[in-house]
Amino acid sequence: MSSAEQPHEEEHHDEVASSYVPPPPKSIGELVAADQEDESLRKYKETLLGNAIAENIVIEPGNPKKVLVKKLVLVSEGQTEKTLDLSGDLSQLKQTVFTIKEGVQYRIRIEFFVQHEIVTGLKYIQKTYRKGIQVDKMTHMVGSYAPKKELQSYTTPLEDAPSGLLYRGHYTVSSLFTDDDQNEHLKWEWSFEIKKDWN
């Protein structure tokens, strides 16, 4: 939650409409076949796509999803990382409440696998609520990713936790990992508390 967007019950955050239209999705095979006469572009694609050119990378057989979101990690300098496991029962996540010390800077890291095909225009959207009222919204452009056998990740820019007695308390968060094609890769809810100290 940025310090410029600290909670205020009367604030409303309006969506800004975008005229951007994403290009139609292409398979890895189609991407490799295009522009074969351009040597530098061909080498660039090989570097970008790696093993995805030679094999169909599947992390979870039987799972048609292209993005498998595994973890949310809260990172703050000098503190042990706090991890939310996103591979289990999502309905239980709100039972795990992160504590964030008021006024500190922190980042959120999302860890995920990409399988089957390239995903383009990944986005992480986070809405924060206090007492049922939306007090903050963040939208981060994550980017485009090729399938890999290794876990991939995205880390948000530094955020400032609000400080002061008024902002201490319990918050609920609705998180969404989506893309340009409006595919909902994962949606989950979790909680945190702003406290005077980490303990």
Q: Supply the CATH number for residue 157's domain.
A: 2.70.50.30
On whether both 40 and 96 belong to a single domain, the answer is no
Quote the number of domains for the chain: 2
Contact 149, 191 (CB under 8 A): no
On whether both 141 and 103 belong to a single domain, the answer is yes
On whether both 39 and 92 belong to a single domain, the answer is no
Residue 17: inside a domain: no
On whether both 71 and 51 belong to a single domain, the answer is no
Q: Cα 128–113–141 angle (5° rounding)?
A: 45
Residue 18: inside a domain: no
Residue 3: inside a domain: no
Residue 61 token pair: 């057989």
Residue 107: inside a domain: yes
Residue 97 exposure: Cα atoms within 13 Å on the Cβ side: 13
Compute the radius of gyration of the chain from its Cα atoms. 19
pLDDT one digit per residue (tens) for the chain, 199 residues: 654 444 444 444 444 555 666 566 655 455 555 556 666 665 655 556 555 554 678 889 999 999 999 999 999 999 999 999 999 999 989 888 999 999 999 999 999 999 988 888 999 999 999 999 999 999 999 998 989 999 999 999 999 999 999 999 999 999 999 998 889 999 999 999 999 999 8
d(CA 41, CA 34): 10
The boundaries of the domain holding residue 46 are 27-56
d(CA 156, CA 122): 13
Residue 173: inside a domain: yes
Q: Cα 67–186–158 angle (5° rounding)?
A: 90
